[in-house]
């Protein structure tokens, strides 16, 4: 699941973004256009939106497995390309997140740490603003779920573009806390090196917590790879909590 933005440089593009969740845990979606004077037509059933009906008027609730399509409209006709998006629904969408280690600003999105919990997952390009990059160090952050709840899994994706010195983490540690002060390990996963371009890591748990600390260990680039012997980059996208 992920977000598709078409022809971002065009004057009449539209952008479909998540706004996080409301108090009931439902995902809110907003649509913007590069020309605010134009109307936006949209659909939520996967069909192409009609240029003369169902105009966007404000953020709306996202239904699971829905495909949202939107297009800018001028004088009853399409004024740009159709953009589409779907989102990953989980317990941590829109929740507070604190970065313990600072990511690189080279490819940072304007959303910064919020991109880890914005519902957008499995995009292919680590430069597209949906990945957070850590240069030569572990990635460590703390998620505040807002309430103490039972969780069974934490998962995330790592980019693995080895020619660009980007390697997936080989050791992910999940710690939990009820007060945000005393943390204990509630799960971990060690991985062997793989050649897959995107590596999904799932850590099974059975714990009741409010705070989740994630530590994704960096690795020294192995022999035989570009940059061997140097610390690798780590790139992470959506952290899903279920």
State the pLDDT at residue 107.
65
Instruction: Report the C-alpha gap between 88 and 66 in whole angstroms.
Output: 10
Query: What pLDDT does 44 receive?
Result: 94
Helix (H) or strand (E) holding 108: none
What beta strand segments (E) does the chain contain?
Answer: 3-4, 14-21, 27-33, 39-43, 60-61, 68-74, 77-78, 83-85, 96-99, 132-135, 139-159, 171-177, 184-190, 198-216, 233-236, 240-241
202-237 exposure pattern, b = at least 16 Cβ within 10 A, e = fewer: ebebebebbbbbbbbbbbebeeeeebeeebbbbbbb
pLDDT one digit per residue (tens) for the chain, 242 residues: 333 333 333 446 888 888 877 777 778 899 998 888 899 999 999 899 999 989 999 999 998 888 999 999 999 999 988 998 889 889 998 899 999 999 987 766 566 788 899 888 878 888 888 899 999 999 999 999 999 999 999 999 999 999 999 999 999 999 999 999 999 999 999 999 999 999 999 999 999 999 999 999 999 999 999 999 999 999 999 999 99
Of the candidates 117, 65, 71, the residue with the CA atom closest to the CA atom of residue 87: 65
Q: Which residues of 94-124 are buried (b: 16+ CB within 10 A; e: fewer)?
A: bbebeeeeebeeebbeebebbbbbbbbbebe
Q: Quick one: pLDDT at residue 177?
A: 98
pLDDT at 239: 96
At 110 the pLDDT is: 61
pTM above 0.75, yes or no: yes
Counting beta carbons within 10 angstroms of the beta carbon of residue 165, is it exposed (0 to 12), middle (13 to 18) or buried (19 or more)?
A: middle
Q: In 3-state terms, what secondary structure has residue 116?
A: helix
């Amino acid at each position: 699941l992920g977000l598709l933005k078409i022809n971002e440089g065009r004057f009449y593009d539209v952008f479909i973004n998540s706004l996080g969740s409301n108090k009931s845990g439902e995902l809110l979606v907003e649509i913007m256009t590069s020309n605010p004077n134009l109307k936006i037509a949209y659909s939520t059933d996967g069909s192409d939106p009609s240029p003369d009906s169902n105009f966007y008027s404000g953020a709306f609730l996202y239904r699971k497995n829905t495909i949202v399509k939107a297009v800018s409209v001028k004088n009853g006709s399409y004024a740009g390309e159709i953009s589409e998006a779907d989102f990953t629904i989980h317990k941590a969408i829109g929740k507070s997140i604190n970065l313990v280690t600072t990511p690189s600003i080279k490819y940072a999105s304007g959303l910064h740490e919020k991109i880890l919990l914005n519902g957008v997952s499995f995009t292919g390009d680590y430069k597209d603003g949906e990945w957070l990059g850590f240069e030569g160090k572990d990635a460590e952050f703390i998620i505040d779920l807002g309430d103490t709840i039972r969780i069974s899994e934490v998962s995330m994706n790592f980019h693995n573009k080895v020619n660009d010195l980007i390697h997936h983490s080989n050791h992910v540690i999940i710690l939990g806390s009820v007060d945000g002060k005393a943390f204990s390990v509630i799960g971990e996963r060690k991985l062997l090196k793989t050649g897959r371009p995107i590596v999904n890591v799932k850590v099974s748990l059975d714990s009741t917590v409010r705070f989740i600390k994630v530590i994704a260990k960096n690795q020294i680039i192995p022999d035989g790879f570009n940059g061997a012997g140097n610390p690798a980059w780590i790139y992470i996208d959506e952290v899903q909590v279920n």
